[in-house]
Chain A
Amino acid sequence: MSTRTIIDVSELPHHEFDTYDPVWWGNNLLLAIETSMFAILVATYFYLRQNFTLWPPPVAQLTATLRPLPQLTYGTANTILLLLSLIPIVMTDLSARRDNRRVSQIGLVIAIICGFTALVLRSFEFSAVYFRWDSNAYGSIVWFILGMHMLHLAVLTTEAIVLAIWIFTREYDMKHRVDIVTLAIYWYWVVGIWLVLYAVVYFTPRLG
């Protein structure tokens, strides 16, 4: 019979931010999946472009232009809005780390309003494309890119609402503070990937 050293783990915390928590890893792995999905969507966009002499293709009606480029108004407004939404989200992120419930609540509410507005603006973006999803391959891929990003906006906003309900009505504990920080990472990703998609959808056709 021998004597063993005890490694006592009873004092370890239950939750900790960032790489400590399995939830952080799960969230980031899901984002890795979605990043490869968007990368393949962008590759598809350029692959299909090879089949067109003019991209986007000319419109048959006399009233329209020969180069029906997607209108910049709504897309740009949305981009600015999403960039501005980083302010409340950074606020929320930092306050969750500093255990400041009030700031987290305010930040989340503002972020949710931004999320809703972005969804509304996105629905106008579709009409700024000139083509429907069933007009041609250009319309199909642009609608698909905008739609997939819109899906993420919707999921993100819903997640923010659910978390907000929790921290308004229940505990502001470590577990849910970790959740808030994780939501913030998701938010940064949705904004970051949009900057790429915005450039692809609105500007690469303008480069000729």
Chain B
Amino acid sequence: MSHEKTHRESESKKTTITDEELAEVMAHEKDELERTWAHPRGVVGWLSKTDHKVIAMRYIVTAFVFFVLGGIEAALMRIQLARPDNHFLTPDQYNQIFTVHGTTMMFLFAVPIMTAMGIYLVPLMIGARDVAYPRVNAYGYFVYLIGGILLYAGLMTNTGPDAGWFAYVPLAGPAYSPGKRVDIWAQMITFTELSGLVGAVVIIGTVFKMRAPGMSVNRIPLFVWAQLVTAFMIIFAMPSVMLASSFLASDRLIDTHFFNPAEGGDSILYQHLFWFFGHPEVYIIFIPALGFISPIIIAFSRRRIFGHLVLVLSLISTAFIGFGLWVHHMFATPIPQMGQSFFSAASMVIAIPSGVQIFCWIATLWGGKLNIKTPLLFVLGFFAIFVLGGLTGLMLASVPLDLQVHDTFFVVAHLHYVLIGGSVFPLFGAFYYWFPKWTGRMLSERAGRWNFWLMFIGFNLVFFPMHQLGLNGMPRRVYTYLPETGWGTLNLIASIGAFVLASGVLVFMINAFWARRAGAVAGDNPWAAHSLEWSIPSPPPNYNFHNMPVVQGQYPLWQATEDAPVVRGLSTSKREALVTSVMDAEPELRFEIPGPSIWPFAVSLATAVMFIAGIFTPWAFLVGAILAGAALVAWFFGDPNYENKSARETGERSQSVSPPRELQPKEV
């Protein structure tokens, strides 16, 4: 404390500092900063950690485990379908496996891993020491983990959901799905959506209030824009599916009649509620992936992006139009023709912002001196696969064609082209791109190429034949087919492709395990990239940035001047972060970020009591709510060092101290 004060006093007299003086002061402060931001130890400490990097890495690893589990389920299905009249799986096992496969990939892999990338990278890209609400963030992770374990506990005990990943009523209703299988699905939805909503609030709060001085709205990186737009979509879409799953659970548990036509309920209502979430969900998965692509293209074409503003506007318009498409999943239900026309048109319109973005990226790549490394390969693979998926999307947007191929493998092919092409390929590119930042080591480039080509060839082998199978009339979700249908050969090709694809993922896993120990040491900025996360050591220290960076342009590292200003005056003995204004990122507050706490974990356990016991008795909600309330009260009261006590705690805001001249952008 005392030497901190003397530093402050000596600095407060000065308005400038030379690089030597700065280095000396920083060396002085480093130990105390490390102590202040140190992680707690022991089991309780492990459960109490709140560092956004730790939480995000838990999310990423957990989601990747679920990705592998979902992939194993896919492989089981492909073995079953490899030849006609196969009896590798029973029909009941097949139902559980395709349901759990879809549920896992959508709710336990795709959405959480995209949020997790944001939770890891957004604070680093905007120059913050942590997210705005680190404890809430930790709560989100535990809730997600419990939801995932619940689903797999169900599958392992032969109680896996079996009504499809969207659990349509009446099949999923009490009359046709007795037992607890669908209840497990419904509560798993509640858990994961809760976690998704929490993550969205964390990201928006962080982007709005924690940006480094100088990062006004026009300088927010495209990755951060993508995360922000996604978070807003989550806020408006996910309540819908939480209601759908709550209505379903209450129809099954306490005999409400939301979906029971005999008492005035409506099964089409379920489809509306589900798809009002479900279609934006596709964009919730896809838009963060667009956010990976821009920085990768900038780094490997070595130039500014073409059409920064247009790219941002495309993201935003995609998000808006994304809420006007949901009925195109329901063209086979009695929807008025006027409605069909509207949603058909909207489904075609959304191709425009997607196309605009792809042209902007091509324009960026066009004149650049390309450095074709694995991340860029995955982005190029994305172009090929996603454009194909987009084209079949336009086909499905037209009502007559949709009716013809509804519930066939054509739809399966389309959705995998869009989701794997649109999200998983950019995600793997992002793994290769940011792995050095996470671990301090490079993934092998040679293995990366094997990884890419195995995945690319394998993917097309699995899913391209499915277009033809769908046109030939093979329906989704049948556990086998007869030899006379003539679907055997294409199915066999698809099954072989599945194993090629899986071997690509295996290469990645081996590469990651190997690189963590033996990969080349990366250094701070192995790609000579432009954004703030590359200005700090790899892996980053717990406090991320020693001095809050000052941003001087859209490409902070490329545009930084020799005499860039430096932010001083945050405490080194408390977990202080800088809070800035929403539009111009002017410094406003020294905000003490909440530190490690066990209470988020305790609240997540109470939540688990509420929803898991709620499968069996409605009283669980009362008990769980009381437990959660008690834990929240303890959270509120149980923090000994909750506040910086200082004489400056007067509520008066001091004058703005940022000199505007230094914040002006400099041409690259």
Stretch at the interface among A59-67, A78-86, A129-137, A187-195: A129-137
Instruction: Give which listed residue, B272, B570, B633, contacts A9 with CB less than 8 A.
Output: B570
A25 touches B209 (CB 8 A): yes
A33 touches B568 (CB 8 A): no
> Separation in Å of the B12 CB from the closest CB of chain A?
6
Within 8 A of B (CB), among A172-190: 173-175, 177
A162 surroundings in chain B (CB, below 8 A):
633, 636-637
Query: For the complex, is B24 an interface residue (Cβ under 8 Å from A)?
Result: no
B644 surroundings in chain A (CB, below 8 A):
14
Query: For the complex, is B566 an interface residue (Cβ under 8 Å from A)?
Result: yes
B653 touches A22 (CB 8 A): no
Query: For the complex, is A168 an interface residue (Cβ under 8 Å from B)?
Result: no
B567 touches A7 (CB 8 A): yes
B563 touches A3 (CB 8 A): yes
Taken together as a complex, chains A and B put the C-alpha atoms of A136 and B649 apart, in Å, by 57
A136 touches B136 (CB 8 A): no
B636 surroundings in chain A (CB, below 8 A):
162, 166
A32 touches B235 (CB 8 A): yes
B201 touches A7 (CB 8 A): no
A173 surroundings in chain B (CB, below 8 A):
643, 649
A16-B589, A52-B264, A140-B256 as given contacts; A9 in contact with B657, CB under 8 Å:
yes
Residue of B nearest to A47 (CB): B269
Against B, the Cβ 8 Å flags (1 = close, 0 = not) of A151-182 are 00000001000100010000001110100000
Instruction: Give which listed residue, B133, B197, B257, B590, contacts A12 with CB less than 8 A.
Output: B590
A22 surroundings in chain B (CB, below 8 A):
132-133, 205, 209-210, 579, 591
Against A, the Cβ 8 Å flags (1 = close, 0 = not) of B615-656 are 000000000000001000100110000111010111111100
A29 touches B589 (CB 8 A): no
Query: For the complex, is B324 an interface residue (Cβ under 8 Å from A)?
Result: no
A9 surroundings in chain B (CB, below 8 A):
548, 567-570, 578, 587, 590, 657
Query: For the complex, is B588 an interface residue (Cβ under 8 Å from A)?
Result: yes
A36 surroundings in chain B (CB, below 8 A):
235-236, 239-240
B654 touches A12 (CB 8 A): yes
B19 touches A137 (CB 8 A): no
Candidate in B209, B564, B629 with the most chain A CB atoms within 10 angstroms: B209
Query: For the complex, is B243 an interface residue (Cβ under 8 Å from A)?
Result: yes
A207 surroundings in chain B (CB, below 8 A):
none
Taken together as a complex, chains A and B put the C-alpha atoms of A110 and B569 apart, in Å, by 42
B662 touches A44 (CB 8 A): no
A15 surroundings in chain B (CB, below 8 A):
589, 591, 649, 651
Taken together as a complex, chains A and B put the C-alpha atoms of A134 and B17 apart, in Å, by 72
A3 touches B651 (CB 8 A): no
A29 surroundings in chain B (CB, below 8 A):
200-201, 204-205, 235
A48-B265, A136-B257, A174-B651 as given contacts; A5 in contact with B662, CB under 8 Å:
yes
Taken together as a complex, chains A and B put the C-alpha atoms of A84 and B254 apart, in Å, by 35
A8 surroundings in chain B (CB, below 8 A):
11-12, 15, 568-569, 657
B652 surroundings in chain A (CB, below 8 A):
13
B563 touches A11 (CB 8 A): no
Against A, the Cβ 8 Å flags (1 = close, 0 = not) of B224-257 are 0000000000011011101100010010001111
> Separation in Å of the A148 CB from the closest CB of chain B?
9
> Separation in Å of the A150 CB from the closest CB of chain B?
12
A7-B658, A32-B235, A40-B243 as given contacts; A26 in contact with B18, CB under 8 Å:
no
Within 8 A of B (CB), among A2-44: 2-16, 19-22, 25-26, 29-30, 32-34, 36-37, 40-41, 44
A1-B18, A7-B566, A158-B629 as given contacts; A40 in contact with B240, CB under 8 Å:
yes
Taken together as a complex, chains A and B put the C-alpha atoms of A154 and B615 apart, in Å, by 23
A13 surroundings in chain B (CB, below 8 A):
589-590, 648-654
A30 touches B243 (CB 8 A): no
B258 touches A141 (CB 8 A): yes
A41 surroundings in chain B (CB, below 8 A):
243
A4 touches B582 (CB 8 A): no
B257 touches A20 (CB 8 A): no
Taken together as a complex, chains A and B put the C-alpha atoms of A173 and B566 apart, in Å, by 31
A6-B568, A26-B136, A47-B272 as given contacts; A136 in contact with B263, CB under 8 Å:
yes
Query: For the complex, is B32 an interface residue (Cβ under 8 Å from A)?
Result: no
B201 touches A26 (CB 8 A): yes
Taken together as a complex, chains A and B put the C-alpha atoms of A166 and B582 apart, in Å, by 30
Taken together as a complex, chains A and B put the C-alpha atoms of A199 and B264 apart, in Å, by 22
Query: For the complex, is B596 an interface residue (Cβ under 8 Å from A)?
Result: no
Query: For the complex, is A74 an interface residue (Cβ under 8 Å from B)?
Result: no
Taken together as a complex, chains A and B put the C-alpha atoms of A48 and B40 apart, in Å, by 52
A134 touches B257 (CB 8 A): yes
> Separation in Å of the B142 CB from the closest CB of chain A?
18
Within 8 A of A (CB), among B307-365: none
B649 touches A174 (CB 8 A): yes
B637 surroundings in chain A (CB, below 8 A):
162, 166
> Separation in Å of the B170 CB from the closest CB of chain A?
14
Taken together as a complex, chains A and B put the C-alpha atoms of A97 and B587 apart, in Å, by 22
Taken together as a complex, chains A and B put the C-alpha atoms of A171 and B14 apart, in Å, by 35
A166 surroundings in chain B (CB, below 8 A):
636-637
Query: For the complex, is B22 an interface residue (Cβ under 8 Å from A)?
Result: yes
Taken together as a complex, chains A and B put the C-alpha atoms of A33 and B257 apart, in Å, by 25
A16-B653, A25-B204, A134-B257 as given contacts; A3 in contact with B16, CB under 8 Å:
yes
Candidate in B16, B581, B651 with the most chain A CB atoms within 10 angstroms: B651
B273 touches A44 (CB 8 A): yes
Taken together as a complex, chains A and B put the C-alpha atoms of A133 and B662 apart, in Å, by 64
A10 surroundings in chain B (CB, below 8 A):
8, 11-12, 568-570, 590
Taken together as a complex, chains A and B put the C-alpha atoms of A31 and B236 apart, in Å, by 11
Query: For the complex, is B34 an interface residue (Cβ under 8 Å from A)?
Result: no
Query: For the complex, is B276 an interface residue (Cβ under 8 Å from A)?
Result: yes
Candidate in A25, A29, A158 with the most chain B CB atoms within 10 angstroms: A29
A6 surroundings in chain B (CB, below 8 A):
11, 14-17, 565-568
B201 touches A40 (CB 8 A): no
B657 surroundings in chain A (CB, below 8 A):
7-9, 11
A140 touches B257 (CB 8 A): yes
Query: For the complex, is B29 an interface residue (Cβ under 8 Å from A)?
Result: no
Against A, the Cβ 8 Å flags (1 = close, 0 = not) of B197-212 are 1001100110011100
Query: For the complex, is B266 an interface residue (Cβ under 8 Å from A)?
Result: yes
A138 touches B264 (CB 8 A): yes
B562 touches A12 (CB 8 A): no
Residue of B nearest to A1 (CB): B19
Instruction: Give which listed residue, A21, A32, A134, contacts B255 with CB less than 8 A.
Output: A134
Taken together as a complex, chains A and B put the C-alpha atoms of A20 and B264 apart, in Å, by 48
Residue of B nearest to A51 (CB): B264
Against A, the Cβ 8 Å flags (1 = close, 0 = not) of B535-567 are 000000000000010100000000000111111
Query: For the complex, is B659 an interface residue (Cβ under 8 Å from A)?
Result: yes
A21 surroundings in chain B (CB, below 8 A):
579, 589, 591
B590 surroundings in chain A (CB, below 8 A):
9-10, 12-14
Query: For the complex, is B213 an interface residue (Cβ under 8 Å from A)?
Result: yes
Beyond the given A12-B653, A140-B250, could you list 14 further A-B residue pairs with CB under 8 A, ordered by the A residue number? A5-B15, A9-B567, A10-B570, A12-B569, A14-B590, A14-B646, A25-B208, A51-B264, A133-B254, A133-B255, A135-B263, A137-B258, A141-B258, A173-B649
User: Can you pick out 19 interface pairs between chain A and chain B where the beta carbons lie within 8 Å of each other?
Assistant: A1-B18, A4-B17, A5-B566, A6-B16, A6-B567, A8-B657, A9-B587, A10-B11, A10-B568, A13-B648, A13-B652, A14-B590, A15-B591, A21-B579, A29-B204, A29-B235, A44-B258, A44-B273, A133-B255
Interface on A for B, CB 8 Å cutoff? 1-16, 19-22, 25-26, 29-30, 32-34, 36-37, 40-41, 44, 47-48, 51-52, 57, 99, 133-141, 143-144, 158, 162, 166, 173-175, 177
Which 4 A-B residue pairings sit nearest by Cβ, starting from the closest? Answer: A10-B569, A137-B264, A140-B256, A37-B239
